[in-house]
Amino acid sequence: MTGFARTEGTIETLTWAWELRAVNGRGLELRFRLPPGWDALEPGYREMAGKALKRGNVNANLNVRRDTETRASIDEAALANVLTLAMNLHARIPGSPVPRAESLLTMPGVMRQAPADPVQERDTAAGPVQAGFAEALEALVAARAAEGARLATVMSGQLDDIARLRDQAAVEAADQPAAHQMRVMETLRGLLRESPSLPEERIAQEVALLAARSDVREELDRLASHIEAARALMEEGINIGRRFDFLVQEFNREANTLCSKSASGALTNTGLRLKAMIEQLREQVQNIE
Domain ranges, ordered by start, for the chain? 72-113, 147-285
With beta carbons less than 8 A apart as the criterion, state whether 6 and 21 touch. no
| Orientation angle between helical segments 200-214 and 176-194, nearest 10 degrees | 150
More confident residue, 168 or 103: 168
Q: Provide the whole-model pTM.
A: 0.57
Is residue 194 over pLDDT 60? yes
40 CB contacts (<8 Å, ≥6 apart)? 122
Concatenating the DSSP letter of every residue in 52-75 gives: H-SSEEEEEEEEEEESSPPPEEE-
- CATH number 1.20.140 given to 147-285: yes
pLDDT category at 240 given cuts 50, 70, 90 is confident
4-13, 182-191, 206-215: least confident range: 206-215
More confident residue, 240 or 19: 19
171 CB contacts (<8 Å, ≥6 apart)? none
Structure confidence at residue 200 (pLDDT): 60
Query: Residue 99 and residue 92: Cα distance in Å, rounded?
Result: 13
Q: Could you list the beta-strand ranges (E) of the chain.
A: 3-11, 14-23, 28-33, 56-66, 72-74, 111-113
